[in-house]
Structure 1
Amino acid sequence: MDRPDTVAWQDGTWLNEPPRTRVDGDGLLVTARGHSDFWRTTAYGFVRDDGHALLRAFPPDSATEVTFVVDFEALYDQAGLMIRVDAETWIKAGVEMSDGLPQLGAVVTRGVSDWSVAPVPEWQGRAVTVRASRTGDAVTIRARCEDGPWRLVRLAPLAPDATATAGPFCCSPERDGLQVRFTHVTQGPADTALHEGEDGEDRGD
């Protein structure tokens, strides 16, 4: 199996540059702007497109992984991986504070946004990796905590001919001062199967 390549922080381009960033060893510390978010319309009736995302090309048949530390306190504190085509077509997946707990989830936006979550309280204070794998007309999103097993988060549509970018994102919809530590970003070949064990592939190593 080919191993992914580490992506240098300077290789990405900011969508909505955050107020502060600092390279710390191999990691990147990002301070989110207060009341920043990515969302379109559904249930809340507003459009927000001012969260922070450090993006680079996400071509077909590739995968991008983002690793970050979950250290959240306030409602809707969030970080993870974003896939972006344009302002009305994007996916964000990661961990977000909701109902007093860290929640693993994804928002898929095609004109309007949806949202799905599952509680992961045991992930607080630990390193989490989110992986997006693009093949055919779909992107498969998985996540894991440290060296734990991969969990399927979402299978979502993404047009084969779409020009997309991907990389780490964070938002702070309810407060000032959220700081997120991203430890690394990698890019490599896409998974060859939806489920581990199919066609001989196993992404759980």
Structure 2
Amino acid sequence: MERTRVDWESGSWTREPAASRADDGDLVVMAIEGSDWWRTTHYGFVHDDGHALVSEWPTDAAVEVTFDASTLTGLYDQAGLLLWAGAEQWIKTGLEVSDGVLHVGAVVTNGVSDWSLAPVPEWAGRLVTIRASRGGEAGDAVTLRARSDAGGWRTLRVAPFTAGAASVGPMICAPMRADLEVRFTEWAFTAPDADLHEDPPIR
């Protein structure tokens, strides 16, 4: 599969953000305060009002989104990818500020949510790419990876994702503030991972 850049205009919002604009080929998005996705676990509440610009996800493809992490400074500020199969089956993966530190991680939801994360303070202010791959032998799963523009891929998670039809695209959430703005620089579909233990190419 050849790498195919997705036009911002071809996606549809799960929820319209406070503002969005094209800027020299990039997409700049401002989140609404209180926006988030979470389902039940630990906290007991359901949030389903984050912002994601999604399009149909081919069943044998990887997706990558790149964004500028420099504006992620407030508690629970988030940006990355949303993988959406329905209200009770979805994954959000990317960067999030927790306890004053930038983390990379994922929330995997199958009926209820779980959360995994790891600190990456060295990624602050860098361009970060989040990747999700399915297809091939991983027909019932998705492999999540991330990297900054200063290094190679890190494997974040291999998670169940059994949906056939699904949509995917860049996401942003701002649970705690009204002025989070994130610049997304690329959204692309590309060939799925050749092997779980083999890093995909860096482009």
Q: TM-score, normalised by structure 2?
A: 0.94
Instruction: Give the corresponding residue for 2:5.
Output: 6
User: Structure 1: how far apart are the matches of 2:158 and 2:95?
Assistant: 17
2:157 to 150, 154, 157: 154
Whether the 8 Å contact between 1:132 and 1:139 is mirrored in structure 2 is yes
Instruction: Give the corresponding residue for 1:203.
Output: 201
Shift of 1:204: 4.5
Instruction: Give the corresponding residue for 1:125.
Output: 125
Instruction: Give the corresponding residue for 2:36.
Output: 37
Deviating above 4 A after TM superposition, structure 1's stretches of 4 or more consecutive aligned residues are: none
User: Structure 1: how far apart are the matches of 2:150 and 2:59?
Assistant: 27
Letter in 2 for 1:59: P
Instruction: Give the corresponding residue for 1:145.
Output: 148
1:43-83 residue CA offsets vs partner (Å, 9 max, x unmatched): 11100000000001112111110001112121100000010
1:136-165 residue CA offsets vs partner (Å, 9 max, x unmatched): 111111100015110001111111x52100
- Aligned pairs, how many? 199
User: Structure 2: how far apart are the matches of 1:133 and 1:127?
Assistant: 20
Whether the 8 Å contact between 1:52 and 1:171 is mirrored in structure 2 is yes
Shift of 1:42: 0.6
User: Structure 1: how far apart are the matches of 2:103 and 2:56?
Assistant: 27
Backbone CA RMSD of aligned residues: 1.2
Instruction: Give the corresponding residue for 1:17.
Output: 16
User: Structure 2: how far apart are the matches of 1:165 and 1:147?
Assistant: 29
Letter in 1 for 2:96: E
Query: Matches of residues 75-114 of structure 1 in structure 2 within 5 Å?
Result: 75-114=75-114
Distance 1:204 1:9, change over 3 A: closer
Shift of 1:10: 0.5
User: Structure 2: how far apart are the matches of 1:19 and 1:65?
Assistant: 24
Give structure 2 stretches of 5+ with no counterpart: none
User: Structure 2: how far apart are the matches of 1:164 and 1:109?
Assistant: 14
Give structure 1 stretches of 5+ with no counterpart: none
User: Structure 2: how far apart are the matches of 1:37 and 1:185?
Assistant: 21
Shift of 1:5: 1.0
1:64 partner SS: strand
Whether the 8 Å contact between 1:34 and 1:173 is mirrored in structure 2 is yes
Whether the 8 Å contact between 1:196 and 1:204 is mirrored in structure 2 is no
User: Structure 2: how far apart are the matches of 1:122 and 1:55?
Assistant: 29
Q: TM-score, normalised by structure 1?
A: 0.94
1:89-130 residue CA offsets vs partner (Å, 9 max, x unmatched): 000000000011100000000010000110000111110000
Shift of 1:203: 2.9
Query: Matches of residues 176-195 of structure 1 in structure 2 within 5 Å?
Result: 176-195=178-197
Identity across the alignment (%): 53
